[in-house]
Structure 1
Amino acid sequence: METELNPVDAARRAGLWVVGTFWGKHDDTKVLALATRDDSDPLPYGWACTCGIAQRFPVEEDAFRSAWYHVHPPRWRALARRNPLLRRLVQPTARLRHPSTA
């Protein structure tokens, strides 16, 4: 029986450099945002979350900051998701991957 790879080993086998892991929660679901580096991409640094959202950046610091806030959203954002009156005040989290530039 084949054992399932954890996300870090899967990324390494895909040829990516793993530069950080960020553990957090979306409501009550545990998630992992894996920050990676891909030298063949015009935007080399990025992160992908187990919830399906991913983003790419030109510098490592932007990827780290974005991944941290994705898995640890500000408290007011969590409250706004539960309260319909506050939802209109919150900007949605980016859900699209940045397009690759030629």
Structure 2
Amino acid sequence: MFVRIVKMSFHKEHISAFLSMFEEKKAFIKASKGCSLLELYQDKNNPEIFFTYSYWEKEEDLENYRNSDLFKNVWAKTKVFFNDRPLAWSVDKKITLI
């Protein structure tokens, strides 16, 4: 399993549209093969910055999602709201304390 972290920065006037779209699509994204968790975070100091964290079983699962019509549709609608280039990382989770 690994974690995909994506940082996105939006124009203020598009945040509500992004949140509505995310709310509409989140269950479909989470239902993608190999996705075991999907979270959305908003920066406390800069409300224009958001992060998604998604947990994937295999890199192939993430790549299949990224090549899906669902991703292409969501990404096409999302990227027009950006005020900066998005950044993404794939990381291996090492330790969890609960």
Q: Give me the TM-score of the superposition, normalised by structure 1.
A: 0.33
Greater C-alpha radius of gyration: 1
Structure number with higher relative contact order (C-alpha < 8 Å, ≥ 6 residues apart): 2
When you count helix as a share of all residues, which structure comes out higher? 2
